[in-house]
Amino acid sequence: MSLSGKGVSKVLFVLLTMIPLFFYQCKQKPEPKPNILFILSDDHTAQAWGVYGGILKDYVHTPNISRLAEEGCVLDNCFCTNSICTPSRGAILTGQYSHHNRIFTLEDALEPDSMNIAKVFKNNGYQTAIVGKWHLKKQPAGFDYFNVLPGQGRYWNPILKTKENWQDGYGGGAEYEGFSTDVIAGLTMDWIKNRDKSQPFMMMCHFKATHEPYDYPDRFKDLLDSVEVPEPASLFDYGPETTGRSFVGQSIDNLGKRFLENTQNPNYWAQYPDLPFIVDGLDSVAVRKKVYQKLVKDMIRSGAAIDDNIGKLLNFLEEEGIADNTIVIYTADQGYFLGEHGFFDKRMIYEESLRMPFVIRYPKEIKGGSRIDDIILNIDFAALLADYAGIDKPDFVDGVSFRNNLKGEAPEGWRNQMYYRYWQHQTNRPGHFGIRNKRYKLAFFYGQPLDMKGTEPKTTQPAWEFYDLEKDPNELHNAYKDSEYQGLISEMKNELMKLREDIGDTDKQYPEMVKIFEEYWNQ
């Protein structure tokens, strides 16, 4: 069939019209990869965020965390796999459980030749940087730029170390005038401003706050000054005789002793704010109440400085014109006890310690004001970041991306339970592992040091604990011996054993653990 001259003209006209459009589309730049600003604090527990509710929600000062929540997504069931600073930070960077990255306790290091997510990003066209708390001992690897605190670092006039002045241990570095949270945020903004703008970046901004001694800048010293904050129901939980728990824990009374020692000794290892701490004439109940008030107010003030700087960072991204294409995450390395169970500190599988508060904003993909209750772990963070950057999940990563979960589209078969293990055994906080699902928690306190660095050699009696988190959300009744749960506990033991086998944490290499399992697993 032949075309007439008029038909040929029409075809040519259509083709000529489409050619410019074709070349225009060919010249279009691909969608730029997102920048990532990963903000991490130390011990800034969910109870002190406000967006998680609780007895302190009307007392905390966190307008910018609330802003992130309104513009992004809050995770309601995010957990760490080993609730202590160094192991949790190792899990975040490697995406691995402690038994895989070999960062079991505070005394272990992330070796420079180990794989981590920064190396992956650097090898895939990203500029990488970290500022603030590192706490992984050896020199950071995989970062184009780092400026990190030695160990815990100082709250005031912190010393930070770069490639140019690095020394292992506490040597090297340069001093920066000011309060550490302000300094770290300022250095973060300086690096972003002066980056190579032809490449996307991943910046990790890691605050020292709110770690003990919970210090804060002068602008927040009067926050809650004349206010009495409410107490948790379990502030006067003194142990096994009231709840059936199997360990002593880190009593808040010990924190009071530290306040007193620092009052008497200005050169004490921890420099607490707002001293002297006077308890003359007070009985033990009144002392515990006073310690609690100081702990919580100091924590809230320290957290207010973090929130203040989060606001500065968010405003800075807008001023730079990169807010819409920058994923912003704020989280803490673990939770923290604020008087619950009569405790302070973390480490335990109990909710206050186990939970990681987490909020993420990415305007291009995440609906503002959303929340998800899927079980997310800190080993998942590396996979998520890689996913957003268009990078295949690295083979070394144990975790999985939860990008679809953040859109309300949880993948079929998403985990319904999680595994936890604390390795740094001490007699008051024994080594233990456990399993938690949406409602129940089962934990085995095996009480062995297993030759781990920083552990106490003395062992403790193995024991089980079980909690129904729906009926007993504050974990005030160890229901392990309750008849109504025996079938469920048996099922959860099987699930726990299977989970340990699946992830390769079986303890078969420890003869003492094999013996303990034989004697205590079915007790």
Q: What is the pLDDT of residue 31?
A: 83
- Determine which helix (DSSP H) or strand (DSSP E) holds 66, and give its type and residue range: helix 63-71
Q: Which residues are 332's β-sheet partners? A: 41
Q: What is the pLDDT of residue 30?
A: 76
What is the average per-residue pLDDT within 41-69?
99
**35-217+304-416: CATH, from 3.40.710.10, 3.40.720.10, 3.90.180.10, 1.10.150.110:** 3.40.720.10
The string of pLDDT tens digits covering residues 206-227 is: 999 999 999 999 999 999 999 9
Question: Which among 147, 143, 169 is positioned nearest to 160, based on CA atoms?
Answer: 147
Of the pLDDT bands very low, low, confident and very high (cuts 50, 70, 90), residue 515 is very high
| 8 Å CB contact between 72 and 362 | yes
Report DSSP letters for 291-342, one per residue.
HHHHHHHHHHHHHHHHHHHHHHHHHHHHHTT-STTEEEEEEESS--EESGGG
Indicate yes or no: pTM above 0.85: yes
282 Cβ partners below 8 Å, 6+ apart? 290
6 Cβ partners below 8 Å, 6+ apart? none
Of the pLDDT bands very low, low, confident and very high (cuts 50, 70, 90), residue 142 is very high
| 8 Å CB contact between 376 and 79 | yes
Tokens at residue 267, please? 């050169």
Domains 35-217+304-416 and 419-520 in one fold: no
**In the predicted structure, residue 22 carries a pLDDT above the cut 70:** no
- The residue among 50 and 11 whose pLDDT is bigger is 50
Tokens at residue 388, please? 């957003």
As a whole number, the mean pLDDT across the chain is 95
- Determine which helix (DSSP H) or strand (DSSP E) holds 491, and give its type and residue range: helix 486-503
415 Cβ partners below 8 Å, 6+ apart? 375
Domain regions of the chain by residue span: 35-217+304-416, 419-520
**In the predicted structure, residue 129 carries a pLDDT above the cut 70:** yes
What is the average per-residue pLDDT within 5-29?
54
What is the average per-residue pLDDT within 54-64?
99
Q: What is the pLDDT of residue 1?
A: 47
Collapsing DSSP to helix, strand or coil, 515 comes out as helix
Question: Which among 424, 175, 368, 210 is positioned nearest to 297, based on CA atoms?
Answer: 210
383 Cβ partners below 8 Å, 6+ apart? 95, 393, 397, 399, 400, 401, 402
- Three-state secondary structure readout of 150-204: CCCCCCECCEEECCCCECCCCCECEECCCEHHHHHHHHHHHHHHCCCCCCCEEEE
**In the predicted structure, residue 201 carries a pLDDT above the cut 50:** yes
Q: What is the CATH number of domain 419-520?
A: 3.30.1120.10
Burial (CB count within 10 angstroms: exposed 0-12, middle 13-18, buried 19+), residue 137: middle
